[in-house]
Amino acid sequence: MAVFRSGLLVLTTPLASLAPRLAPILTSAARLVNDTLYVHLQPGMSLEGPAQPQSTPVQATFEVLDFITHLYTGADVHRHLDVRILLTNIRTKSTFLPPLPTSVQNLAHPPEVVLTDFQTVDGSQYNPVKEQLVRYATSCYSCCPRLASVLLYPDYGTGEVPVEPLDVPLPSTIRPASPVARSPKQPVRGYYRGAVGGTFDRLHNAHKVLLSVACVLAQEQLVVGVADKDLLKSKLLPELLQPYTERVEHLSEFLVDVKPSLTFDVIPLLDPYGPAGSDPSLEFLVVSEETYRGGMAVNRFRLENDLEELALYQIQLLKDLRHMENEEDKVSSSSFRQRMLGNLLQPPYERPELPPSLYVIGLTGISGSGKSSIAQRLKGLGAFIIDSDHLGHRAYAPGGPAYQPVVKAFGTDILHKDGTINRKVLGSRVFGNKKQLKILTDIMWPIIAKLAREEMDRAVTEGKRVCVIDAAMLLEAGWQNLVHEVWTVVIPETEAVRRIVERDGLSDAAAQSRLQSQMSGQQLVEQSHVVLSTLWEPHITQRQVEKAWALLQKRLPKTHQALN
């Protein structure tokens, strides 16, 4: 069976009958399409008549909005699919609607195959129907020249679902601000301009519901606020957030695909109100259950500034049925970022100058991140650990390779009575003094690197195939040229401060000052191959480390695997 990168799914069954068989339809489509799946709703359309079917407007009702939510919820099972419900023919009840476009709509990923749930009389792949399907698809959208066509029925079957429309409507997922009860068949009102906001990190199906409802409601312009800067600080694992420009790029492509007739104003959201709090031309705001109170605050702010309230449309959260114990039970970007922990984020370095039978990991992280505990967990899994702090102690010791150069540079007053270097005195001499610190690091870092190379040779002698250099200053010292991969341990700065205060007896200010003298977690992650976090319970950390270790074994060169 051929598999296509992109496809167009044309749904012709009335929505009430379609909803209960949607899961098997999506499963059938997911077997044929492995990347982008566009969905076009045209309930009631026949592909068996002699005349070529035409795209006709679909009245935007709350039933349609609920179905859109239902479809994106069902599609979340197929996480390899980027599902996009096309909204051009879904029309709100309004007097200012432009006519349906007569030209073909361009899509970012032209479909290579068109699929449909349409049922032929005998359930066969009836060629005239498939030809009609191709003609219909190409009259609406830009498709690949050799467009394949597939009738999904009877692959998705009918045995478990009723053929007749159900009396029970889909669960209500969209709530307008009006306290008046809404019915499924109630038309949705259209507005000239509205707004929606969010972080939109790794655009997922819950985002798509929020954006799709906003696109259906808006007829001319949609303002989309994308959280940036200070609004990102409270996010879980902010170091793994996509850059603003990347989030905007993915968001813009999706919006233009689903409703190109709208003007989209995508702007950075730098405060909780954003343009929704100050733009007099806006008429509605789409929020989630979580951000509804924020929407109410926006309206209070508008009233205080003599602006009309916005109509609020609240979207229920999408449940994530496959969430892990430390993840949220909703579909969320936070969970997606957690699932990145332990994964390889960029290709490893090629290091032909390192011992050929040894694969070297550089483990780093801000002070208090739990880096050393991760090192011990890796040791338990079979890694050879090189502790750069211990190497530093060896280098400072009388007779060590750094002893005479350091005493010569900083004087004998840094020595204890027994002749050993007083590291506290030395530390106070260089702390906050960039010139003095550089003198010290110019001495120490090359010596520690040389000692680390000697430890690598010892690891080879002991038959180890993975070596971990535990070093807080790994990147600052330029030791990434000693490793194949950089692994970084991250935690929120507030948690790091708490741990440093508890562990070292420092004041909050002193702990904060220590962190400010180091590279930030964000800077470390930008140069990392694998990211881990000790923010959760120890067994969660252990699970992360075991995942990272198992994935590492799969990508170890054969020369290293042969030693196992």
pLDDT, block means (10 residues), the chain with 564 residues: 93 91 94 97 91 90 94 93 96 68 90 94 74 95 95 66 46 66 85 97 97 96 97 95 98 98 97 95 96 96 97 92 86 95 97 95 97 97 97 95 96 94 91 91 97 98 97 96 98 96 93 91 96 97 98 82 48
207 assigned to some structural domain: yes
| CATH assignment at residue 272 | 3.40.50.620
328 assigned to some structural domain: no
Distance from the Cα of residue 392 to its chain's centroid: 39
pLDDT number for residue 563? 46
**Statement to judge: residues 65 and 213 lie in one domain:** no
To the nearest 10°, report the CA torsion of 231, 235, 240, 246.
Answer: -40
> 108 exposed, middle or buried (CB, 10 Å; 0-12, 13-18, 19+)?
middle
**Statement to judge: residues 501 and 356 lie in one domain:** yes
Domain end residue (candidates: 151, 181, 213): 151
Give the pairing type, strands 174-176 and 311-315.
antiparallel
**Complete edge-to-edge strand list for the sheet that includes strand 113-116:** 82-86, 33-41, 4-11, 113-116, 148-151
pLDDT number for residue 50? 83
The first and second tokens of residue 47, run together, are 């592909």
Distance from the Cα of residue 101 to its chain's centroid: 34
> To which residue do tokens 């007053």 refer?
413
Neighbour count for residue 290 (Cβ, 10 Å): 12
403 assigned to some structural domain: no
**H helix or E strand, kind and range, residue 384:** strand 384-387
**Statement to judge: residues 355 and 211 lie in one domain:** no
**Statement to judge: residues 93 and 22 lie in one domain:** yes
C-beta of residue 71 within 8 angstroms of C-beta of residue 30: no
Neighbour count for residue 187 (Cβ, 10 Å): 14
pLDDT number for residue 231? 95
**Statement to judge: residues 125 and 236 lie in one domain:** no
**Statement to judge: residues 214 and 264 lie in one domain:** yes
419 assigned to some structural domain: no
pLDDT number for residue 564? 46
Alpha carbon distance 354, 362 (integer Å): 13
Helix axes 493-504, 508-516, angle to 10 degrees: 120
Alpha carbon distance 101, 86 (integer Å): 13
| CATH assignment at residue 101 | 3.40.50
426 assigned to some structural domain: no
Q: Look at the chain and report how many structural domains it folds into.
A: 3
Length of the chain: 564
Rounded to the nearest 5 degrees, what angle is found at the Cα of 523, between the Cα atoms of 521 and 526? 105
**Statement to judge: residues 370 and 295 lie in one domain:** no
The first and second tokens of residue 283, run together, are 């008429």
Give the pairing type, strands 218-227 and 263-269.
parallel
| CATH assignment at residue 527 | 3.40.50.300
**Statement to judge: residues 250 and 379 lie in one domain:** no
**Statement to judge: residues 139 and 15 lie in one domain:** yes
**Statement to judge: residues 370 and 226 lie in one domain:** no
Alpha carbon distance 428, 529 (integer Å): 34
240 assigned to some structural domain: yes
Domain carrying residue 359: 341-383+464-555
DSSP E strands in 177-299: the ranges are 191-198, 218-227, 263-269, 284-288
pLDDT number for residue 327? 86
pLDDT number for residue 165? 42
The first and second tokens of residue 318, run together, are 């999408």
For the chain, percent helix, then strand, then coil, each to nearest 5? Answer: 40, 20, 40
> To which residue do tokens 């194949």 refer?
484
C-beta of residue 113 within 8 angstroms of C-beta of residue 7: yes
**Secondary structure letter of residue 419 according to DSSP:** S
Neighbour count for residue 328 (Cβ, 10 Å): 16
pLDDT number for residue 51? 86
> To which residue do tokens 């405060």 refer?
271
> 178 exposed, middle or buried (CB, 10 Å; 0-12, 13-18, 19+)?
exposed
Alpha carbon distance 140, 54 (integer Å): 9
pLDDT number for residue 249? 98
Q: Is the pTM of this model over 0.95?
A: no
**Statement to judge: residues 296 and 354 lie in one domain:** no
**Secondary structure letter of residue 123 according to DSSP:** S
**Statement to judge: residues 134 and 207 lie in one domain:** no
> To which residue do tokens 């990168």 refer?
5
The first and second tokens of residue 301, run together, are 């702010």
